């Protein structure tokens, strides 16, 4: 059975460009409930740990640099079939390939700076949510 939670980050580019409100509006209008949320900034060590799975990829250094350059909005979201439905809502990793109306199509500039993160499995949603939030911060 599909899980009901996912984890997201509005990335530094989205925050810098003033898109927090519009993106959160699209997320909640699409049926996701906010379970936990905060403005925070990852350290280099945080980003290296969070993206450990990508450490051998050629873009790893760039990714860590980007994700630590300013604040992000971290949030846990709840909805039936949350992981899959949220990845549909954000669109393809490369905004040029993202479907019309998706968050990345509307707000992302490039494959590297692509406005928003969405967990890729129920297991990773739990790991990533717990990376950013303590139990008492989840509602
Ligand atoms: P995310 O984890 O952020 O939701 O994105 P995703 O699943 O669609 O993509 P993933 O393969 O997990 O890549 C993680 C993030 O790394 C950056 N990236 N840059 N320069 C590049 O070729 C490249 N490829 C990936 C993006 O920020 C991507 O979201
Ligand atoms: Mg991913």
Nearest to 29 by CA among 89, 91, 83: 89
pLDDT exceeds 90 at position 20: yes
CA of 3 to the centre of ligand 1 (A): 22
**110 within ligand 1 shell (Cβ under 6 A):** no
* Mean pLDDT of the 17-42 span: 98
CATH number, domain with residue 114: 3.30.70.141
Q: Which residue lies with its CA nearest to atom 10 of ligand 1?
A: 93
φ, ψ of residue 125 to 5 degrees: the values are -60, -45
Average pLDDT, rounded, for the chain: 97
* Mean pLDDT of the 75-83 span: 98
CA of 6 to the centre of ligand 2 (A): 12
Residue whose tokens read 């049926």: 31
Nearest to 19 by CA among 119, 128, 114: 114
Is 19 marked active-site? no
The total number of structural domains in the chain stands at 1
The domain in which residue 31 lies consists of 5-137
Query: Is the entire prediction scored with pTM above 0.80?
Result: yes
Residue 107: CB atoms within 10 A of its CB come to 23
């Amino acid at each position: 059975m599909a899980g009901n939670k996912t984890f997201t980050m509005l990335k530094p580019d989205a925050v810098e460009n003033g898109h927090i409100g519009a993106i959160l509006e699209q997320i909640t209008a699409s049926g996701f409930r906010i379970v936990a949320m905060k403005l925070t900034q990852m350290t280099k060590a945080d980003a290296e740990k969070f993206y450990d799975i990508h450490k051998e990829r050629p873009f790893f250094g760039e990714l860590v640099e980007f994700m630590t350059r300013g604040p992000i909005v971290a949030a846990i979201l709840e909805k039936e079939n949350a992981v899959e439905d949220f990845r549909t809502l954000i669109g393809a990793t490369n905004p040029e390939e993202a479907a019309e109306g998706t968050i990345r199509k509307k707000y992302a500039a490039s494959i590297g700076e692509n406005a928003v993160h969405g967990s890729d499995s129920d297991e990773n949603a739990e790991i990533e949510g717990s990376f950013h939030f303590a139990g008492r911060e989840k509602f």
